[in-house]
């Protein structure tokens, strides 16, 4: 609470009303801050006074700077080079917490539909049948986008994901190629050569060998008698 109060003091300079709510309903304790948009001294809005100009000069950048200062002063961890990473939406964070990000779920769902499709048109149809929202326009540079219907239900403002963002494997031409390869793999039947073994021939061989052995015994006895 003290850190959140100090952040508001440094950012708002006691010129805006605010309310701080501390939440403990998740794995980490965090604060929500609601600010009255109007400066009670000048009457101007917060956007007018603090959220104009270059991105680095806007309010969210100032909040980050002050937050980092406070974390350092209180021996708390600070995110290094935050501009190098893209933030997560609450949906993505929640899926990540469960060990499965929404992008992973989306790619898995697409993979399953690819395996079941006869061609690209069938793929688009089956996506709709399997909870995947699809935008496809071959005349546009960004021709293919996806989104899980479940994600849209939980976050109506969520945007569709470009196929390219999911990876090269999920772009239009690659999906078409994968469908063709899967179909060939399913239709392939190895050329097996059936070798038939004649039971009769094996039996005849056994009899022939038995006769030869008996003949050898009789011949040996006859030779012994002649020697006498």
- pLDDT tens digit sequence for 197-207: 455 555 556 55
Residue 180 has a pLDDT of: 92
pLDDT number for residue 195: 53
What does the pLDDT read at residue 21? 87
DSSP three-state, residue 220: helix
Of these ranges, 6-10, 141-145, 151-155, the one predicted with the greatest mean pLDDT is: 141-145
Q: Which of 68, 69, 62, 76 is nearest to 29 (CA)?
A: 76
Q: Can you give the pLDDT at residue 146?
A: 96
pLDDT of 125 strictly over 90: yes
Residue 61 vs residue 18, higher pLDDT: 18
Closest CA to 16 of 56, 67, 59: 59
**The pLDDT of residue 97 is above 70:** no
Kindly report the average pLDDT of the chain as a whole number: 78
- Give CA–CA dist 110/116, Å, rounded: 10
pLDDT of residue 74: 82
DSSP string for residues in 103-128: HHHHHHHHHHHHHH-SSHHHHHHHHH
Picking from 102, 128, 107, 104, the residue whose alpha carbon sits closest to that of residue 178 is 107
Instruction: Average the pLDDT over each of 44-48, 119-123, 175-179 and give the range with the smallest value.
Output: 44-48
User: Average pLDDT, stretch 152-178?
Assistant: 92
Asked if pLDDT for residue 23 goes beyond 90, the answer is: no
Query: Does the pLDDT at position 87 exceed 60?
Result: no
Average pLDDT over residues 8-37: 81
pLDDT at 179: 94
Cα 166-169-174 angle, rounded to 5 deg: 130
Tell me the pLDDT tens digit for each residue of 46-75.
776 666 666 656 677 788 888 888 888 887
pLDDT score recorded for residue 85: 46
Instruction: Between 69 and 179, name the one with better pLDDT.
Output: 179
Average pLDDT over residues 157-186: 91
């Amino acid at each position: 609470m003290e850190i959140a109060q100090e952040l508001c003091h440094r950012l708002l300079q006691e010129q805006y009303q605010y309310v701080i709510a501390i939440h403990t309903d998740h794995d980490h304790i965090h604060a929500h801050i609601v600010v009255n948009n109007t400066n009670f001294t000048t009457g101007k809005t917060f956007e007018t006074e603090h959220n104009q100009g270059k991105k680095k000069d806007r309010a969210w950048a100032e909040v980050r700077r002050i937050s980092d200062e406070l974390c350092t002063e209180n021996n708390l961890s600070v995110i290094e080079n935050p501009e190098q990473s893209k933030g997560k939406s609450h949906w993505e964070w929640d899926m990540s917490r469960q060990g499965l990000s929404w992008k992973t779920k989306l790619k898995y769902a697409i993979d399953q539909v690819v395996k079941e499709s006869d061609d690209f048109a069938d793929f688009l149809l089956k996506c709709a049948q399997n909870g995947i929202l699809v935008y496809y326009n071959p005349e546009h540079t960004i021709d293919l986008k996806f989104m899980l219907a479940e994600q849209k239900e939980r976050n109506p403002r969520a945007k569709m994901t470009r196929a390219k963002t999911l990876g090269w494997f999920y772009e239009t031409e690659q999906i078409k190629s994968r469908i063709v390869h899967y179909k060939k793999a399913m239709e392939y039947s190895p050329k097996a050569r059936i070798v038939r073994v004649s039971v009769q021939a094996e039996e005849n061989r056994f009899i022939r060998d038995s006769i030869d052995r008996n003949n050898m015994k009789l011949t040996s006895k006859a030779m012994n008698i002649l020697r006498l």
